Amino acid sequence: MAEKNDVVFVDGVRTPFGRAGEKGQYWNTRADDLVVKAMIGLLERNPQVPKDRIDDVAIAATTQQGDQGLTLGRTAAILAGLPKSVPGFAIDRMCAGAMTSVTTLGSGIAFGAYDLAIAGGVEHMGRHPMGFGADPNPRFLSEKMVAEDALNMGMTAERIHDRFPALTKERSDRFAMRSQHKLAAAYEAGRIQPDLVPVAIRSESGWGLATQDEGMRPETTLEGLATLKTPFRPHGRVTAGNSSPLTDGATASLLASSDVVKEFGLTPKMRMVSFAFAGVEPEIMGLGPVPSTEKALRKAGLGIDDIGLFELNEAFAIQVLSFLDHFGIDDEDPRVNTWGGAIAIGHPLAASGVRLMIQLAAQFAEHPEVRYGITAMCVGLGQGGTVIWENPTYDKRAARKG
């Protein structure tokens, strides 16, 4: 039996994210074209990688119909110009689709089946509204397997507020506002743009270029957030301001074994340490990252205090706060979502997992004193996913100084 190979995240890119719907920048853009664009951008950034050496392509989408159907990994590989000898497939774990693309192909690399692989995801929530065409088995409700509102993500977020009264709307709003301000600061400092692949877009006024995330609201204030409606429940606490918005976008990443990294002179941005998925009651799905993180930490032999950077998907502010409270981390801990999160950037469901990794990798490069980082997210129907990463630029001396 061969030893497990080291799995590294060589690089990752994404399209700028767009607001879903008719007024959004990608309304006239196909979903598959978004992920193809990201893949082409990724390959162009890594010209030393021979395309015919890519062993597999996994692309996730939650709604696998129309321009998100037909085994996306294979169709996107052909459209992106990979040789026909490169296979591909589609993945679905709702919001953790791209994360599951990475862990699935990463496992193949660790096993020795793959040397190089492309993992990503896409969700065009404008063209494919959440839950569209789904036909949940009636037994879910008739046999009371899940609560009636378990498939309404906003309701699951309201239920976390119910369960933890200390997590107030004011805390959610403050967390959401900070996400907007942190993203604005990161853009201002030019930290987000290097990993974006611009996309040509067509609108009534002609052709244009999408170069930045469209949903940003840098002017957000607590006072403004306090006035917003609560669409999921009368007098609720979850609003458009403290939720991730409906979003279109795609991500793509290049994974490799450490042997191939040497062969092609690649510079890995992260090493995969461990990963885990876990389930919770579907009606409080936002708590999912708690058990998945505990499991991933256990598998890595690490504790939460070993983690120097956290990229937590902000499906809802309340859901991230429940994670932070569980682990005793302050709402404003500077290690958490340092450059803002999904509330400001957007959350194109099955694409977001790799967006978290792109952002963590970029921060690792700036923080040689940090050895480990986490990417984690909640998943519909009561799941959580976590991947723990090691920083290849980690320097013990920098850590001591820090």
Ligand X SMILES: CC(C)(COP(=O)(O)OP(=O)(O)OC[C@H]1O[C@@H](n2cnc3c(N)ncnc32)[C@H](O)[C@@H]1OP(=O)(O)O)[C@@H](O)C(=O)NCCC(=O)NCCS
Burial per residue of 13-24, b for 16 or more beta-carbon CB atoms within 10 angstroms, e otherwise: bbbbbbbbbeeb
- 100 lies in the binding site for ligand X (CB under 6 A): no
Q: Which is nearer to ligand X, 177 or 300 (CB)?
A: 177
80 binds ligand X (CB under 6 A): no
Q: Is 244 in the site for ligand X (CB under 6 A)?
A: yes
Single out the segment in contact with ligand X by CB under 6 A; choices: 4-12, 113-121, 243-251, 394-402.
243-251
Catalytic residue, chosen from 124, 128, 347, 367, is 347
Interacting residues of 186 by C-beta distance below 8 A, sequence separation 6+: 192, 338, 339, 340
Q: Write down the least CB distance from residue 385 to ligand X, Å.
A: 12
Q: Which of residues 292-331 bind ligand X (CB under 6 A)?
A: 315
Which residue, 329 or 351, has its beta carbon nearer to ligand X? 351
Given 95, 99, 160, 358, the residue binding ligand X (CB under 6 A)? 95
Q: Does 243 bind ligand X (CB under 6 A)?
A: yes
Say whether residue 217 binds ligand X (CB under 6 A).
yes
The set of residues, in sequence order, having a beta carbon less than 8 Å from that of 286 and lying 6+ positions away, is: 156, 157, 160, 315, 316, 318, 319, 322, 378
Size (the chain), residues:
402
Q: Are residues 197 and 164 in contact, defined by beta-carbon separation less than 8 angstroms?
A: no
Catalytic (active site) residue 124: no
Chain mean position to CA 182: 17
Asked if residues 63 and 32 have their Cβ atoms less than 8 Å apart, the reply is no
Mask for 132-171, x = binds ligand X (CB under 6 A): ---------------------xx-----------------
Residue 27 neighbours by CB distance under 10 Å: 18
Of 57-65, 106-114, 139-147, 219-227, the segment contacting ligand X by CB under 6 A is: 219-227
- Residue 347 is a catalytic residue: yes
Q: Is 220 near ligand X (CB under 6 A)?
A: yes
Q: What is the DSSP string of 14-38?
A: EPPPEESSTTSTTTTS-HHHHHHHH
Of residues 199, 225, 276, 360, which one binds ligand X by CB under 6 A?
225
| Consecutive H or E run containing 276 | strand 270-279
Map 321-378 to HEC letters.
Answer: HHHHHHCCCCCCCCCECCCCCHHHHCCCHHHHHHHHHHHHHHHHHHCCCCCEEEEEEE
Dihedral (CA of 258, 260, 262, 267) sign: negative
Cβ contact 373:389 at 8 Å: yes
Indicate whether 81 belongs to the interface with ligand X (CB under 6 A).
no
Query: Considering only 225-233, 257-265, 270-278, 363-371, which stretch makes contact with ligand X by CB under 6 A?
Result: 225-233
Site for ligand X in 365-384 (CB under 6 A): 380
Q: How far is the CB of 24 from ligand X (least distance, A)?
A: 10
Token pair recorded at residue 382: 């009561």
**Residue 240 binds ligand X (CB under 6 A):** yes
Among 41, 88, 245, 341, binds ligand X (CB under 6 A): 245
Known catalytic residues? 95, 347, 378
Which residues form the interface with ligand X (CB under 6 A)?
A: 95, 153-154, 180, 217, 220, 224-225, 228, 231, 240-241, 243-246, 315, 347, 380
